[in-house]
Chain A
Amino acid sequence: MARALLLASGRALFGLDIKEVREVLKAPPLHYVPLAPALVLGAINIHDAVVPVFDFSQLRGAQSEVGEHIVVLQGACMALAVNAVHGLCSRTIAMPGGIMHPWVRETFISVRGLAGLIDPVALQQTLEQRLSTTRSLPAERVSEWIAR
């Protein structure tokens, strides 16, 4: 049976397929990321790799409520700060899709209640949209030139 790591953020429950989790850390030292939006809490040093930590509460549109658990995702070079990690659970009676968040792949019943299964790829796409800036220099210069 499919198993997930059950996470709590505010009063909501979320799950991450265990294959998507690299490790769970408790209060590792967070390093400052300059020029980053508030969504980025900092960066951690994991086995000599620099991994950004995102405030999961803000990601789901709630008020920032930083917890001390940090879940590092497998493959995707990122980590999520959550309020609590409730351990592993089985995903029974899962329904595809989620209503509130495009990055929730399915809704399932866990031991603690209804939880949304996070789709890391969709989560990355959401992040991409939120972090996208006017980075491309030529396009910026083109519009400057046209404006003149």
Chain B
Amino acid sequence: MDRSVNQPEYFHTFLAETQEHLLTMQRWLSVMSNHPEDQEALLCLFRSLHSIKGMAASMGFKGLAKVAHGMEDGLDRLRRSGKLPAEAVEPLYQGLELLEARLADIASGNPESQEGAGVGDPKERVHTLRISIPGGDVALWMLVVNELMRLGTLRSCEPAPEKIAEGTLPAVLEVDLLCRFEIEEIEQRCQRICDSVAVELTSRADAEPGLAMQHGVGQPTVRVSTNLLDRCVGLSGELLTVRHRLQASLKQGNQEEIEGSCLQLDRLLADLRHQVLDARMVPLEAVTASLPRLVKDLCRNTGKAIRLNLVGNEVRLDRAILEAMSEPLVHMVRNAVDHGIEEQGTITIAARRDRDRVTLDVIDDGRGFDVEWLLERARQDGFLEAGENTHLSGSELLQLICRPGFSTARRITETSGRGIGMDVVRHTIDKLGGTLQLLPGQGQGACFRFILPLTVSIVPVLLVEAGGQTVALPLMWIEQTLDVPRQQLRCFDDSHTIDLGNRQLPVVFLSRHLGHSPFSGNGSSTIICELRGGHAGLVVDAVIGQREVFVKPLDFPLNRIQGLSGATILGDGRVVFLIDPCSLLPSPSLIPSKGEAL
């Protein structure tokens, strides 16, 4: 590879643009598989391939350029014949997969090893090793561990180096080592410390690819139009002017002027926020582009004839929401293919924007839900009592199929039927602040409706106090807050419930979860935040108030702390963390739903 041309400043642009072309190719290829005579689709495919070839060659990625060139040659012949034969679609899909794999390799930084050039660094692998040193002492073991760390990254080490340092000498040391070296080299390096070191390889696996290309929106970048950037620059200029005006009026002590400037500042900030959030918007196509191929593959495996109909692909959503929606959408499509449609049918994914939210319907015209069978299954699994609820509404049915461990499938297939997916889908939607509905039967089939917010960056929260500390609870989780005298709490064993007249609500103490005594406050009443869905209540010491906050996503290592969903900085500079209340609750299956007796 010619490093002189492969300049890092263009690398990310190259990745983003190539990926965009691959998405375009996917779209046109799915059009062509239905309309082989579509000349425009053929030309667009050709143009994308040509661009990929040109960009890859100029960046010095010869392998990628070669694959694109080969495909372009083939397509050129077809272009002249003016029609795409049906049997040409499959090789084109395979070519597309090859291009994606090459791009993923390039993105993860090891293009040479995959392009057969035979030069450069070999690929990193995880080696599972068993190491023994007959008669080795602490110092010797530590030197070997140290050498292994120099060779690569120790993914796991049993016993841990600290234990060895404390004198726990292993008979055999078991490690997972991520490195570029072969077993012989590792053994040789260890034997330089002591001849009697024996290294045995038990298994080896390739390291995970650096970039998942199949679904999702790829690199964490968005393309922003220069118009939008110009507007942002203009707004920051206006903000500067207002600041000067505010400073001048502060010096003069002119109250009216100060108020006027503050109002203008408010308007400009709202405008700037709106423009910047707009820059994060990505069309839905970024996640639906891979679905036609998924359906095609699933059809091939199951022998069904299913058409995928995508409506409203141009609707734009926040990038973070789209990323999170990728998996649920794939899951819904798989479910529809595996369990919804029997022999042939259509799956429709329709999106539309309604003011500040997006409605996304996933509809199949299959056999729909066999409610009787579902009820029987629910009773067998102990989700329902015998004789209970013989008629289910849409929301009750949804609640049932979203229960962890409940599967609507009669049989488990490779891809679905284990009863895990729908629970995860609902959890994802809840986290995003959206809702999932099951629409009542419009004829046959099933229709799931996702209602999603446009953005996740600015979130309304409830600031509460518990155990003397302030935390934020996303408002989307809270159904209502109640001021209840503490005496009204009933205690059974170690758990508490509250009588709300028509039902009993189990409650958990936030302060206890935060490591403080639950009755640390001296107030005689308690605030219950009833969590959405009516599953449980949360007892806090005080409610400070509601705010709209800019949520900062958590980076490593804070994102490893379970239960935190973000952080925000308040006006006085205080850092307050957002808690995901669901993480505080015991397993949802243990908590009775709204209306159920305890």
Contact = CB atoms under 8 A, between A and B. Distances in A.
Interface of A: 29, 31-37, 40, 43-45, 48-50, 52, 61, 77-78, 96-102, 122, 124-125, 127-128, 131-135, 137-138, 141-142, 144-145, 148
Contacts of B145: 102
A125 B513 CA distance: 27
A97 B146 contact: yes
Contacts of A131: 557, 560-561
A43 B587 CA distance: 30
Interface string B411-452: 000000011100110010000000000000000000000000
A97 to B, nearest CB: 4
Contacts of B514: 34-35
B544 interface: no
27 contacts: A29-B573, A32-B577, A33-B561, A35-B514, A35-B564, A36-B561, A43-B567, A45-B569, A45-B573, A45-B575, A48-B569, A49-B552, A52-B558, A96-B146, A98-B146, A99-B165, A100-B162, A101-B162, A102-B145, A102-B154, A133-B561, A135-B560, A135-B562, A142-B420, A145-B404, A145-B418, A145-B419
A33 B577 contact: yes
Nearest to A99: B142
B55 interface: no
Contacts of A34: 469, 471, 514, 563-564, 577, 579
Contacts of B577: 32-34, 43
Contact of B567 (A50, A78, A98): A50
A141 B569 contact: no
A62 to B, nearest CB: 12
Given A48-B569, A141-B420, A145-B419, A35 B165 contact: no
B576 A124 contact: no
A54 B213 CA distance: 36
Contact of B557 (A52, A102, A134, A142): A52
Interface centre among A48, A102, A137 (most CB of B within 10 A): A102
A54 B567 CA distance: 17
Given A43-B558, A127-B557, A138-B424, 7 more contacts: A31-B576, A35-B513, A43-B577, A50-B558, A101-B162, A128-B560, A141-B404
A122 B150 CA distance: 11
A33 B576 CA distance: 8
B574 interface: yes
Q: Which 7 A-B pairs have CB atoms at the shortest separation, nearest pair first?
A: A31-B575, A97-B146, A131-B560, A35-B563, A50-B567, A133-B562, A77-B555
Nearest to A121: B153
A22 to B, nearest CB: 14
A97 B154 CA distance: 14
A102 B454 CA distance: 45
Given A34-B471, A34-B563, A50-B575, A141 B405 contact: yes
B contact patch SS: mixed
A99 B149 CA distance: 12
B161 interface: yes
Given A99-B142, A100-B165, A125 B587 contact: no
Interface in B92-146: 139, 142-143, 145-146
A96 B148 CA distance: 13
Contacts of B576: 31
Nearest to B146: A97
Contacts of B149: 97, 102, 122
B418 A142 contact: yes
B556 interface: yes
Contacts, number: 111
A145 B560 contact: no
B165 to A, nearest CB: 5
Contacts of B554: 50
Interface residues of B, number: 45
Contacts of A102: 145, 149, 154, 161-162
Contacts of A48: 569
Contacts of B560: 127-128, 131-133, 135
A122 B513 CA distance: 31
A29 B139 CA distance: 42
Interface in B147-173: 149-150, 153-154, 161-162, 165
Nearest to B156: A129
Interface in B559-598: 560-564, 567, 569, 573-577, 579, 587
B561 A128 contact: no
Nearest to B577: A34
Contacts of A43: 558, 567, 575, 577
A56 to B, nearest CB: 14
B540 to A, nearest CB: 12
Contacts of A97: 143, 146, 149-150
Contact of A31 (B153, B154, B513, B574): B574
A141 B423 contact: yes
A7 B38 CA distance: 69
A115 to B, nearest CB: 17
Question: Which residue among B404, B405, B557, B569 has the maximum number of chain A CB atoms within 10 Å of its CB?
Answer: B557
A142 B470 CA distance: 35
Contacts of A133: 560-562
A125 B176 CA distance: 14
Contact of A124 (B143, B557, B575): B557
A28 to B, nearest CB: 10
Contacts of A101: 162
Contacts of A148: 405
B24 to A, nearest CB: 32
A100 to B, nearest CB: 5
Nearest to A43: B575
A128 B153 contact: no
Contacts of A49: 552
A127 B558 CA distance: 10
A101 B165 CA distance: 9
Nearest to B155: A125
A40 B557 CA distance: 10
B516 to A, nearest CB: 10
B406 to A, nearest CB: 9
B469 A32 contact: yes
A135 B146 CA distance: 30
B562 A35 contact: yes
Given A35-B562, A99-B165, A138-B420, A125 B153 contact: yes
A96 B514 CA distance: 42
Nearest to B381: A148
B329 to A, nearest CB: 16
B190 to A, nearest CB: 14
A103 to B, nearest CB: 9
